[in-house]
Structure 1
Amino acid sequence: MKRILLFILTNLLVMLTIGIILSVFGVGSYLNDSGGIDFMSLLIFSAIVGFTGALISLAISRMVAKWMMNVHVLNPNGNLSSGERQIVDMVHRLSRAAGLTHMPEVGIYESNEVNAFATGPSRKRSLVAVSTGLLDELDADAVEAIIGHEVAHIANGDMVTMTLLQGVVNTFVVFLSRIAAWAVSRFVKDEVAPIVHFIAVIVFQIVFSILGSLVVLAYSRYREFHADAGGAHLAGKDKMIHALRGLQAYQERMNDSQQTAVSTLQISGKKRSALFSTHPDLEERIRRLQAS
């Protein structure tokens, strides 16, 4: 959950910033001499802004995650406690089994929530982080399976694929938001049309970005099944199912006020919010693993 939501939020902020700067300096004008839209120019402009936003978000994803989550990166060559050493060794062992030639950074962050995530711009510059709540709540077999799941995300190149998809979504967001803003500005006086257009672009870009994120989230849910399969391959199918069952048991012990804090592999018991979930329902994931 953290990996995807941080990426989407960072992408939105980066794209808005790029769009505002370019608009202020009049770069990428897509209006023709008659005041209409030059659709080809707008499409090229939209693709440049859209993919630039996604690529910048990917490039800084590891740094943002460390900063936002206050991740303490463990130095494999430093003085580590026995528990920290066990986590580092586990990540490295599973990474080698997944065929990674560069070991991910390994981090722990203080949080009561049961959570783990992997992020980074490439397989060579990746991060696997776990919360203290995860280590306190689940046993060693479950932790190993969850780490295997996160390592599988890295080995599968999910962040890069997600970036390409986000770039396409961004392109349509920029394209459609400017067409909508142009249409709105046609209904106001010429004196205020530029201001209305500028504000409308920002508003529509935010709205369309939220709608576009549904596509990214749907892809994220799809990739979780592959990461589950990867975790099962690396740590063992029984351990992966055991981890998911452990998360289910933890969810059932949580009361309603605590439900929002449950985010490892996106525990979500509220079916009505499935469209905005980064991960599919736990029972469905267990069913697919059992059937594989």
Structure 2
Amino acid sequence: MKRIILFLATNLAVMLVLSLVLNVLGVGRAVTGAGINVPALLVFSLVVGFTGSIISLLISKPMAKWSTGARVIDNPANSTELWLVNTVRQLAERAGIGMPEVAVYEGEPNAFATGAFKNSALVAVSTGLIESMNREEVEAVLGHEIAHVANGDMVTLALIQGVVNTFVVFMARVVGFFVDKVLLRSNSERGIGIGYMVTVFVCELVFGLLASIIVAWFSRQREFRADAGSANLLGSPVPMQRALARLAGVPAGEMPKAMSAFGISGTGGGWGALFSTHPPMEQRIAALQNLQARPA
């Protein structure tokens, strides 16, 4: 319920902020005079901005299973799978969430959690991670993923993506309309021309690039919180520190692009740290060391 309220409040906040800014700057009147219906454009932008992120969230579990080839452990086939399921169950109970589906997939060391709802999430680990870590380290990684679920990170990330998408869609069309009106078309003509379409396309690329920096920043912050969450669930930050140190020494398991932000490790992409979905391992380890140094 809280996340539904947050979703509705976010939509409303976007509309109110955009309307207020436009009215204060006098842009609303100018845009309406130029032929743009601002309220209709806001609604259009919200629909376009949030539809993709919400659909992606709702289908995240089946897409994750399909893209990674993850096999859900319905009936543990060996002692390792039984231990994985029992460990996830214990961590989920400590975190106060429903039992997630537990899955294993073939690949280099990595793990992820996804799902639209806290009580029906998916936690998956790679065979490479199981084989390269001891059980204490694997448990720390599982705690990290459970913390993501308990924090509602998948939903919040979808909301953040929807918000920035809304701004991108809205501002690209406002700029496009002004460019088309002022620079490329005479005031006596009506409708929109090629200048509008070209400008919207360019602005969506530029604004989308800037928006991705915001989303990546949030993704990095949630990794720090999930690391701390693992430390809290296990009662000590040491296992998570050791797990991160182990991951720092091996190549991160490659994940599908759509799932890259949900892995336990990764370097992101683009031009550098601004576009990375994960902080450097040394920063995450340092944050846990600071957590350990704090007085109880």
What TM-score, normalized to structure 1? 0.75
Aligned match of 1:5: none
Does structure 1 residue 173 correspond to structure 2 residue 168? yes
Aligned match of 2:103: 107
Identity %: 45
* Bigger Cα displacement from structure 2, 168-177 vs 184-193: 184-193
Q: Could you say if the C-alpha distance between residues 80 and 207 of structure 1 is closer, same or farther in structure 2, counting changes exceeding 3 Å?
A: farther
Q: Could you say if the C-alpha distance between residues 97 and 224 of structure 1 is closer, same or farther in structure 2, counting changes exceeding 3 Å?
A: same
Superposition pairs for residues 152-163 of structure 1, below 5 Å?
152-163=147-158
Deviation (angstroms), 1:245: 1.4
Deviation (angstroms), 1:267: 4.3
In structure 1, what is the Cα distance between the partners aligned to 2:275 and 2:72?
A: 30
Deviation (angstroms), 1:289: 1.1
Q: Could you say if the C-alpha distance between residues 234 and 260 of structure 1 is closer, same or farther in structure 2, counting changes exceeding 3 Å?
A: closer
Deviation (angstroms), 1:185: 3.9
Q: Secondary structure at the match of 2:115?
A: strand
In 2, are the aligned partners of 1:247 and 1:267 still within 8 Å (CA)? no
Aligned match of 2:85: 88
Q: Could you say if the C-alpha distance between residues 268 and 167 of structure 1 is closer, same or farther in structure 2, counting changes exceeding 3 Å?
A: closer
Q: Secondary structure at the match of 1:89?
A: helix
CA-to-partner distance for each residue in 1:23-70, whole Å, 9 max, x for gaps?
A: xxxxxxxx9886532333322321232123322221111122112212
Aligned match of 2:224: 225
Tell me the amino acid that sits aligned with residue 88 of structure 1: V
Aligned residues: 251
Tell me the amino acid that sits aligned with residue 168 of structure 1: V
Q: Secondary structure at the match of 1:121?
A: coil
In 1, are the aligned partners of 2:268 and 2:276 still within 8 Å (CA)? no
Does structure 1 residue 58 correspond to structure 2 residue 54? no
In 1, are the aligned partners of 2:109 and 2:253 still within 8 Å (CA)? no
In structure 1, what is the Cα distance between the partners aligned to 2:241 and 2:211?
A: 32
Aligned match of 2:122: 127
Deviation (angstroms), 1:266: 2.7
In structure 2, what is the Cα distance between the partners aligned to 1:122 and 1:136?
A: 30
In 1, are the aligned partners of 2:42 and 2:170 still within 8 Å (CA)? yes
Q: Secondary structure at the match of 2:36?
A: coil
Deviation (angstroms), 1:124: 1.8
RMSD: 3.0
**Alignment gaps of 5+ in structure 2:** 1-29, 292-296
What TM-score, normalized to structure 2? 0.74
Aligned match of 1:238: 238
Deviation (angstroms), 1:89: 1.4
In 2, are the aligned partners of 1:110 and 1:133 still within 8 Å (CA)? yes
Deviation (angstroms), 1:114: 1.5
Aligned match of 1:20: none
Deviation (angstroms), 1:260: 8.2
For residue 139 of structure 1, the aligned residue among 104, 119, 134 is 134
In structure 2, what is the Cα distance between the partners aligned to 1:177 and 1:137?
A: 47
Q: Could you say if the C-alpha distance between residues 220 and 134 of structure 1 is closer, same or farther in structure 2, counting changes exceeding 3 Å?
A: same
In 2, are the aligned partners of 1:117 and 1:150 still within 8 Å (CA)? yes
Aligned match of 2:286: 287
Q: Could you say if the C-alpha distance between residues 84 and 202 of structure 1 is closer, same or farther in structure 2, counting changes exceeding 3 Å?
A: farther
Deviation (angstroms), 1:184: 4.7
Deviation (angstroms), 1:249: 2.6
Tell me the amino acid that sits aligned with residue 105 of structure 1: E
In structure 2, what is the Cα distance between the partners aligned to 1:196 and 1:216?
A: 29
Deviation (angstroms), 1:191: 11
Q: Could you say if the C-alpha distance between residues 68 and 238 of structure 1 is closer, same or farther in structure 2, counting changes exceeding 3 Å?
A: same
Superposition pairs for residues 206-221 of structure 1, below 5 Å?
206-221=205-220
In 2, are the aligned partners of 1:97 and 1:234 still within 8 Å (CA)? yes
Deviation (angstroms), 1:193: 4.9
Deviation (angstroms), 1:204: 3.6
Q: Secondary structure at the match of 2:96?
A: coil
In structure 1, what is the Cα distance between the partners aligned to 2:49 and 2:146?
A: 28
In 2, are the aligned partners of 1:269 and 1:281 still within 8 Å (CA)? no
Deviation (angstroms), 1:234: 1.5
Q: Could you say if the C-alpha distance between residues 70 and 192 of structure 1 is closer, same or farther in structure 2, counting changes exceeding 3 Å?
A: farther
In structure 2, what is the Cα distance between the partners aligned to 1:233 and 1:192?
A: 59
Q: Secondary structure at the match of 1:243?
A: helix
In structure 2, what is the Cα distance between the partners aligned to 1:33 and 1:250?
A: 57
